[in-house]
Amino acid sequence: MNHYVKILRSAFLAGLCISVGCVVNLRVGGVAGAVLFSFGLLAVLHYKLKLYTGTAGFIRVRGDWSMLVAVLLGNIIACGVCACAMTYAQPDIIAPDMAIVGSRLAKGPLACFLLAIGCGFIMTTAVQFGREGKFLPLLFGVPVFILCGFTHSVADAFYFLAVPQMISIQLLAIYLMEVLGNFIGCNLYRLLISK
């Protein structure tokens, strides 16, 4: 039990880091917002925190599934807390947030699933470089996935929970497809290239 408490605490802090990236992206937007979002992932790597998209591509085939669920849960809880606090303190982020959520709804579950695969691949690649002390790919990887319109399940937890009035069955289906798509993308290198 103590093991899972540690994981949840680390995952919660990772979710807060990604939430900071979401806030700056909503406030600044464009290329600059996408680049500044990188701070969140840089902080996650620096502190060796548990982020779903930074963990999913490195799990063992057996034994890590409950840990991965705990990581995602901790990330989502932190995003929800941060989303509530930030929309209260800075209501100007609500309009751009609604635009992001609206675009996800317009695309639908299948498109968001496919876009999540691209994000997962970029995140695992960037994290692998970061673990080797090479942070430039990380700095490029985050803006690339944002500017490509790829979907990141932890960032979208923030975006979706920031506008609870837009939460629906369809949005939940989209979210679950993003989680699955991120997982596949994070493991794409392992699925296609044998060690």
Q: Where would I find the H helices in 48-168?
A: 52-55, 65-89, 94-131, 136-148, 153-161
Contact (CB, 8 A) for 43 and 17: yes
Residue pLDDT, tens place only, 124-182: 999 999 889 898 888 899 999 999 999 999 999 999 999 999 999 999 999 999 999 99
Query: What is each CA distance from 46 to 17, 39, 187, in whole angstroms?
Result: 11, 10, 22
Query: Which domains are assigned to the chain?
Result: 2-187 (1.20.1080.10)
Alpha-carbon distance of 184 to 99, in angstroms, equals 26
CB neighbours of residue 103 within 10 Å: 14
Question: Which two tokens mark 15?
Answer: 């979710």
Residue pLDDT, tens place only, 101-130: 999 999 999 999 999 999 999 999 999 998
